[in-house]
Amino acid sequence: MTGSKVRRNKKFTWRVIHILPLTIAIAAMFSSCSMRRNLNEGEYLVWKNKIVVEENKGLNEGLPQKELLSDIPFQQPNRRLLGVWALRAWFQREVRGDGTEIQGKSLRSWIKRSIGEAPVILDPTLTERTSLAFQQYMYNAGFLDNSIEVKTDTMGKRAKVTYILKPKEPYYIGNVEINANNPILDSIIQRHQKDSKVLPGARFSIDELDQERRRLSNIFRDEGFYAFSPDYIRFTLDSFSDVSSINLELQITNQVNGEGHAIWMVDSIEVYPDYRVQQRSDTAVSHQRNYKGLSIFWNGKLRYRPMLLRQAVFYDAGDRFKASLYDPTVQRFASYGTFRFIDLKFNVLDTAKHKLIGRVYLTEGKHQSLDLDIEINHRIEPGLSGVSTSVGYTNRNLFRLADIFQIKNIAGVDAEFGRIDGALNNADFVIDISEAFPKAILPFAIKPLNRSTRIRTTFSTRYKFEQRFRFYRLHTISASVAYEWSKNKKILHTLRPIQLNVFYLPDGFRTAEFEDKLLQFPSLARSFQESLIAGSNYTFLWTGIPRNNNLNIESFRFDAQMAGNLVSGFTRIIQGKRERGDYTIFGRPYAQYLRFEVEGKYARGIGRTKAQLASRALIGVGIPFGNSSIIPFISQFYVGGANSIRAFKLRSIGPGTYSDSLTLTDPTYFFDQSGDVKLEANIELRWSMNSWIKWALFYDLGNVWLYNRDEARPGGQFNRDFYRGIAMGWGGGIRLDFEYFVIRLDVGLPVHDPRYDQGERWRVGTYQWRDRTWRQQNLVFNLAIGYPF
């Protein structure tokens, strides 16, 4: 590149940096003016809402929280790009705030209808309704004496609405008197009183009273009072001991018919495993069978073994009704993965004797399915493209045990188009076969698990073929037994006590160039040494559950793998101590190492918009010891690709600042790079254009390093200067979200490339946006299914 061209490019970059803010400001000004011209006299655009809570004599405890108040419905301003440009309202500026429907099939009408949104015009009636809602909220929170002031400030055609909340002294609970009108209910209340929040001295709150009614109702129903509901519990204000204290009386009323509350018994349980939604409840069934107190009704052939159905029902005939067993029963059936709808109903069988009959209606889903995934990675120049396809077949309930049989085939190629001497660079072929059962399959007996614990046993095997046409051919065969169990929706444990991997490189498919590399890099040669990996693996996964329909999602994963220890103990006993050389089993050396990986994900909704800021951080470390001086290649970490650092191709960077001389000089050259230590972080801003078109801006960083020093790969070891080897990239993308699957296209661009010399690693100054050749050589395209994290 000539010096004049670099100077012209820098001038262009400088102009963009200085002109872009001015361009945005002018666009925002014109769009705002355009919308204001369409407003009538006395109409104002809602530009901002502000909530102010006045302190009351320094008493802050218990005051309404602004976060909770944000749930109060009020007129939200139009969403604005970069905080200034109401882009959606600009698209629909001819549409009035009364919600006039847009007709027509033209492109202009579609943009208004799908992308635009009506300008939000200040409505005093809605403002007053919001004010009353705030007052009711404060009243429910215990601030019975409160007031609110609303200020509306206008500037031009914009309006800023400020809600000033003025709660006075909160009220507290004095005495609490219990009048249950039933000795059994009274004893239950006393037994669970320690868990109550409605106690003398607590701040009075109508919301807390409602929660207490629901809490006691759930307890009563769990003690057999099937017909009980919160409506039978009333709190009355008995007296006022002073101006800020309220005495309460808890009263339990009788049923509507005047009868007292009674304990109900479960007389029998019925299961309909092939129920159809359109089927009438009185439709006759052709078959019936009783199994351990469970009555099973079906037509045709019974697709499920009675044992499987029995172990999912936690109710027993002759027991008291227990409401807390309802959800575990439904969840156990849902965990089988074979039923589309699950409906558990209890009906009165005998009113006089207070007997119930339970019926479980199960509607089956599809037993067989075929899935297809496609991932594309493309770099325009020199025409490198990676294509990976995945075809999976799933059969649910193959052995009538709600088992899930899966076979998945993954095939991928990395090709260079336009070459005559063979276009393919790399090829991969994978076959995964697994069979999962919804129970623990063990060679020994264990004590019964808690009813809420869901467990699954999975047997799996894999064959993987990797062809690097310029270097080698690699075969990998693996097998494992995994146990998954969870007690709730948040935490999942996975234990693989047996995990075997064998890989080998046929001598006849190693190129001379690859053999030279193995001689040049001894540690690389050891990582490719044919060996047996026998070990165990444990994974802990915690997933946060979004609350209040927000977009906040968080998860944490910890993975630990230990390989070779059991085999080591066995071989040392058989073979004795060796002065040199590796211990072997079945004629092959075995790998011995520890491998840990920690990953955290967090996605947070931005205000009331549908925008979301998603992030991920990942740390991985592998420590070889004993029979190994380096971790096997197939167990090492790598970065890059559609779900990692998207500005770099898969396995194209690392370890550290090490760079193969051909990596930067020959665009078609590719050699898998991996390491023992991995650091990665990603952040992505996501927002919606409409219900199915979504945009994203992202920034990725990370790399892999070696645990031990390798003289042949300088800069590859993880040390105090590791930050110099962090690769960074940014970019943007579009997602087509069709609810059941997402098609994603991302374009990435390197920001910091550790493969270059130290003074040349920051790549932003070398951007040449107007140069077509530069764009073709540096932009990396990734087409994939699903979100990256």
Is residue 736 over pLDDT 80?
Answer: yes
388, burial (CB in 10 Å: exposed 0-12, middle 13-18, buried 19+): buried
Give per-residue pLDDT as tens, 215-248. 999 999 999 999 999 999 999 987 555 567 889 9
Order the strands of the 45-53 sheet from edge to edge: 45-53, 158-167, 146-155
Q: Most confidently modeled of 41-50, 455-464, 552-561?
A: 455-464
375 C-beta neighbours (distance < 10 Å), count = 21
Q: What pLDDT band is residue 100 in, cutting at 50, 70 and 90?
A: very low
Order the strands of the 355-364 sheet from edge to edge: 287-291, 294-298, 265-272, 355-364, 339-350
Least trusted range by pLDDT, from 111-125, 673-687, 740-754: 111-125
Is residue 615 over pLDDT 50?
Answer: yes
Q: Which CATH superfamily is domain 172-252 in?
A: membrane protein fhac (3.10.20.310)
The predicted model gives 549-574 an average pLDDT of: 79
Least trusted range by pLDDT, from 95-104, 465-474, 500-509, 711-720: 95-104
Q: How many helices (H) and strands (E) does the chain have?
A: 14, 29
312, burial (CB in 10 Å: exposed 0-12, middle 13-18, buried 19+): buried
Give per-residue pLDDT as tens, 648-687. 988 889 899 998 766 666 655 666 789 999 999 999 999 8
The second-level CATH assignment, the architecture, of 266-364 is Roll (3.10)
Is residue 149 over pLDDT 70?
Answer: yes
Q: What pLDDT band is residue 74 in, cutting at 50, 70 and 90?
A: confident
The second-level CATH assignment, the architecture, of 475-785 is Beta Barrel (2.40)
Least trusted range by pLDDT, from 416-420, 447-451, 602-606: 416-420
Q: Which two tokens stand for residue 16?
A: 């963009």
Domain ranges in the chain?
3-167, 172-252, 266-364, 370-468, 475-785
List of residues 6+ apart from 539 with CB closer than 8 A: 493, 494, 495, 557, 558, 559, 560
Give per-residue pLDDT as tens, 297-347. 999 899 999 999 999 999 999 999 999 999 999 999 999 999 999 999 999
- Which pairing describes strands 593-605 and 588-589: parallel, antiparallel, or unpaired? unpaired
Q: What is the mean pLDDT of the chain?
A: 82
CA-nearest of 262, 469, 256, 421 to 354 is 262
Helix axis angle for 124-140 and 206-222, nearest 10°, is 60
Higher pLDDT, 116 or 263: 263
Is residue 561 over pLDDT 90?
Answer: yes
Give the whole-angstrom CA distance, residue 598 versus residue 600.
Answer: 7
CB 459 within 8 Å of CB 483: no
Give per-residue pLDDT as tens, 629-638. 888 888 899 9
172-252 and 266-364: identical CATH topology: yes
The predicted model gives 407-412 an average pLDDT of: 90
